[in-house]
Amino acid sequence: MLESLTLTNFKAFSRHRIGLAPFTLLTGLNSSGKSSVLQSLALLRQSYESGDLTPVGDTEAGLLLNGELVQLGTGQDVRYEFYDEHGPHIGLDVQGDGASARWSATYEQEADHLKLLEEESQAPRDAASLAALLPTLFGTGFQYLKADRISPQVSYPRSHHAVSSRGFLGPEGEHTVNYLRAHQDDEVTSEQLRIKDAASSSLLDQTRAWMQKLCPGVSLDASGIVGTDTVRLSYTFGSGASRSNAYRPTNVGFGLTYVLPIVVACLSSKPGSLILLENPEAHLHPQGQTWMAYLAGAAAAGGAQIVMETHSDHVLNGLRLEVKKGRLQAEATAVHYFRRSGQTSEVVSPVIASDGTLSEWPAGFFDEWENSLDQLLD
């Protein structure tokens, strides 16, 4: 498990250490630095996968700013503009899995590969050693799902490499339908994630059962389209004699397809998986947002690590309920509230107690209900 991340001169952060738990919630106003935290982890993962962190031959090691997971621009975009007290370099420090590593990169205004400083970085330069040192970040089971995900479509791409060799759903969840098709008979091994009254413990039946909690009566299938390199997703509603025809995603509400990558990411997670989720509550009704915390909480209780950016008080309350109900330990949670302070971002971290209460309630932290009610009752 990753225990902390320290960002130095990275985007909105001068220097900040962010503690990570099995289920970490990042929240706060717009443009307060939440996505930057997810991006820093995705940047390391992307630079590892491309070989930039561990180059062979004469190539220089560095951070790859633009790739499959994130497109951050150039040095000028990622270095904290008002750098000063912590020197001119960009630093990413990760602690976890009983180890720690540091990457310190030089600044070059127009470069999209920022060279690592040998003398300031502390991390193995070969891929196998790096994966062995920090398996949570560099091992199998990594997912990063951005806020902008796949919309309902008639067909989806079929990439053998993504779903079979890498087990990757894609940053927009674009490989989800093909993953579900290829892995539908895989067992959901985690007891916490398995819904008992589902037809079986297969990934497909468990996905259906979780989706039914969001939308009662729904079922779904993922199948190949013969003669093409695409796959199809279809939904049915009801059962027995009242069962509907198979509907295309484009003829079914947006929210179902939008949430599917998150359901599949959580259900296919294993102990040691790392799942980064950006605004998973998008397009979900309020009860569905609480359900999102139940789902991600179950993945965390089953041994995966979740880092989630959210604007949803229902997700926050859902997480508090998971703790209160005893499904997730209070110590397995971390909540960080981001806000701008002058030219940098600062973070307040209320602690969830075992009864679900929060240690503090900073101004602006999910207080809109109360603010509006005060004015309505005035």
Ligand X SMILES: Nc1ncnc2c1ncn2[C@@H]1O[C@H](COP(=O)(O)OP(=O)(O)O)[C@@H](O)[C@H]1O
Between residue 320 and residue 339, which ones bind ligand X under the rule CB under 6 A?
A: 338
In order of 67, 179, 193, 328, the CA distances from 318 in angstroms are 34, 28, 16, 11
User: Which residue, 262 or 347, is less far from ligand X as judged by CB?
Assistant: 347
Q: CB count, 10 Å around CB of 104? A: 22
Q: What are phi and psi of 326, to 5 degrees?
A: 80, 10
Q: Are 102 and 93 in contact (CB under 8 A)?
A: yes
Would you count residue 81 as binding ligand X (CB under 6 A)? yes
- The entry of ligand X, Mg ion, none near residue 12 (CB within 5 to 8 angstroms by kind) is ligand X
User: Which residue, 32 or 289, is less far from ligand X as judged by CB?
Assistant: 32
**Residues 254, 239: Cα–Cα separation, whole Å:** 22
**Residues 291, 200: Cα–Cα separation, whole Å:** 21
Judged by CB under 6 A, the residue of 6, 32, 206, 333 near ligand X is: 32
**Dihedral sign computed on CA atoms, order 49, 267, 308, 302:** negative
| Binding interface with Mg ion (CB under 5 A) | 34-35
- The entry of Mg ion, ligand X, none near residue 146 (CB within 5 to 8 angstroms by kind) is none
- The entry of ligand X, Mg ion, none near residue 36 (CB within 5 to 8 angstroms by kind) is ligand X
- For residues 159-195, one letter each, b for 16 or more C-beta atoms within 10 angstroms of the residue's C-beta and e for the rest, the string is beebbeeebbbbbbbbbbbbbbbbbeebebebeebbb
Residues 6+ apart with CB under 8 A from 363: none
User: Which residue, 25 or 328, is less far from ligand X as judged by CB?
Assistant: 25
As a whole number of angstroms, the longest Cα–Cα distance in the chain is: 70
**Residues 301, 304: Cα–Cα separation, whole Å:** 7
Would you count residue 35 as binding ligand X (CB under 6 A)? yes
Would you count residue 11 as binding ligand X (CB under 6 A)? yes
Judged by CB under 6 A, the residue of 2, 20, 34, 174 near ligand X is: 34
Angle among Cα 268, 272, 277 to the nearest 5 degrees reads: 60
Minimum gap (Å) between residue 31 Cβ and ligand X: 4
Quick one: which of 2, 26, 301, 306 has its CA closest to 145?
Answer: 306
The residue range among 23-31, 128-136, 228-236, 240-248 that interacts with ligand X, by the rule CB under 6 A, is 23-31
User: Which residue, 34 or 79, is less far from Mg ion as judged by CB?
Assistant: 34
- The entry of ligand X, Mg ion, none near residue 33 (CB within 5 to 8 angstroms by kind) is ligand X
The residue range among 25-33, 206-214, 261-269, 291-299 that interacts with ligand X, by the rule CB under 6 A, is 25-33
Minimum gap (Å) between residue 342 Cβ and ligand X: 11
User: Which residue, 81 or 126, is less far from ligand X as judged by CB?
Assistant: 81
The residue range among 74-82, 126-134, 260-268, 280-288 that interacts with ligand X, by the rule CB under 6 A, is 74-82
User: Which residue, 70 or 195, is less far from ligand X as judged by CB?
Assistant: 70
Tokens 């150039």 identify what position?
74
**Would you tell me which residues interact with ligand X (CB under 6 A)?**
11-12, 28, 30-36, 77, 79-81, 338
